[in-house]
Amino acid sequence: MNSTIKDIDIIELGEKGREVSSPWSSTILLVKLTSADGKVGFGEAPTTLMTLPVKESMKEVQRVFSGANFFDVEKNVKEFYRHSFYLSKSMEATSALSAFEIASWDLIGKELGSPVYNLLGGKYRESVRAYANGWYSNCVTPEDFIKKAKELVSHGFTAMKFDPFGPNFDTISHEGLANARNIVSGMRDALGDKIDLLIECHGRFSTRAAIEAGKALEDLHPFFMEEPLHPEQEFGLVEFKHSVKVPVALGERLLNKVDFARFISTRLVDVIQPDLTNSLGILEAKKIAAIAEAFGIPVAFHNAFGPIQTAATLNVDYTIPNFLIQESFEAFWPDWKKNLVKSGYKLENGYFTLSGKPGIGVEIDEKILTDFRTDGMEPFDKVEPPWVVSGTYKQ
């Protein structure tokens, strides 16, 4: 066995001519690690309006991982930490490093002939409950949301996340509050109490507006409200939690276990949402989940990008006692992204299952890697930010 990383390929994929900017459909960043024995591991990094910066950061990580032993996950991550002066504050750097960390685990599993979840403590569950996201493109009115939500229920989903706040940003108008209330109440009436409604705020509000939005919805019993405040205004979460009786979820913009420990220990969050592709990968995810478990906090991993991220995340979901629910965009990806992975996991009747194959468990379609290889920024819309579901950032 030769566990040296021999070759590193940094890959950007995208669909030429696609004009819609969104992290779940426009571009994807992968790293392909090849061992001296010819085994291959894949990792993924996020791209939301930072495709090229992350891609360049991956080249910096490459200099540390080239020739390294892929079994030495802790050592290799810490070695980049030693060199990367701004790592703890740079999502571009942590995202790049996360991709290499995930690919290392994929190689470790393949070298040992084991799925990664068996190397992380084994299965705590046999399947993973999913909630749908990305489903409400072009939804503006309550009727728009209700129609598409009923389709999700017919496909087996028992939970769905959505952003009902239109173009409101920082502040929210009386009309914005009324419309959000009408959307959520309409869905609650149409779907009943057995369907969980997760409210996405996208970190768009100041404290006062977040509280207004939360109070407008709290009697409709949302499963949680995600990122109700601008992420840098974490001090406002204390006032929000004192004012609004809805669980707070956040974490996709936190970069490591220390960030999460701060939010968890100060009781600023009720549900944590780490993202494996920007918070240092699989092993760090286990550590973050353990910190949360010690405080009785459940985990619902953020998962908005591609199938490598999904497979890696599911391997962790399988193993943690405090798992809550798993985000899923799979059904709403463009075809090229759906077809990138030929096998590895399934999403049926609102639940994920893994194949049990070695590594993170997926088989890549090499033709997609060739046909959709690209180089450049993702599309840009001057009106609609890339973090919203397309067609919803309007009155």
* pLDDT higher than 60, residue 146: yes
Give pLDDT, residue 49: 87
* 70 lies in the same domain as 167: no
Give pLDDT, residue 24: 59
CATH of the domain at 344: 3.20.20.120
CATH of the domain at 55: 3.30.390.10
Which of these three, 62, 83, 113, is where a domain ends?
A: 113
* 70 lies in the same domain as 127: no
- The chain-wide mean pLDDT, for the chain, equals 95
Percent of the chain topping pLDDT 90: 91
Least confident of 163-167, 336-340, 386-390: 386-390
* pLDDT higher than 70, residue 194: yes
Average pLDDT of span 129-134 = 97
Average pLDDT of span 356-366 = 97
* pLDDT classification of 17: cutoffs 50, 70, 90: low
Residue pLDDT, tens place only, 295-304? 999 999 999 9
* 122 lies in the same domain as 245: yes
* 77 lies in the same domain as 138: no
* 308 lies in the same domain as 218: yes
Residue 47 φ/ψ, nearest 5 degrees: -135, 5
Residue 174 known to be catalytic: no
At residue 386, what is the residue type? Answer: P
Give the pairing type, strands 5-14 and 27-35.
antiparallel
* 186 lies in the same domain as 102: no
* 202 lies in the same domain as 219: yes
Q: Which residues of 299-325 are buried (b: 16+ CB within 10 A; e: fewer)?
A: bbbbbbbbbbbbbbbbbbbbbbebbbb
Higher pLDDT, 48 or 243: 243
* 54 lies in the same domain as 169: no
H/E run at residue 264: helix 257-265
Give the residue numbers spanning the domain of 91: 5-113
Give this prediction's pTM: 0.97
What is the token pair recorded at 14? 């995208």
At residue 129, what is the residue type? Answer: R
- Is 393 within the bounds of a domain? no
How far lies 268's CA from each of 22, 32, 33, 211, in Å?
A: 29, 37, 38, 15
Which of these three, 113, 128, 148, is where a domain ends?
A: 113
* pLDDT higher than 60, residue 23: no
Give the pairing type, strands 351-354 and 345-348.
antiparallel
- Is 369 within the bounds of a domain? no
Average pLDDT of span 240-266 = 97
Whole-angstrom Cα distance, residue 387 to residue 24? Answer: 10
* 286 lies in the same domain as 334: yes
Residue 155 known to be catalytic: no
Least confident of 6-20, 66-80, 108-122, 346-360: 6-20
* pLDDT classification of 381: cutoffs 50, 70, 90: confident
- Is 382 within the bounds of a domain? no
Q: What share of residues in the chain are helix, strand, coil (percent, to 5)?
A: 40, 20, 40
* pLDDT classification of 386: cutoffs 50, 70, 90: confident
Which of these three, 84, 113, 142, is where a domain ends?
A: 113
Active-site residue identified among 83, 155, 174, 302: 302
* 93 lies in the same domain as 149: no
- Is 392 within the bounds of a domain? no
- Is 378 within the bounds of a domain? no
Active-site residue identified among 83, 174, 202, 230: 202
* 68 lies in the same domain as 126: no
- Is 256 within the bounds of a domain? yes
Give pLDDT, residue 380: 85
| Structural domain count of the chain | 2
- Is 370 within the bounds of a domain? no
- Is 385 within the bounds of a domain? no
* 105 lies in the same domain as 131: no
Give pLDDT, residue 378: 85
* pLDDT higher than 70, residue 83: yes
Contact 316/276 with Cβ under 8 angstroms? yes
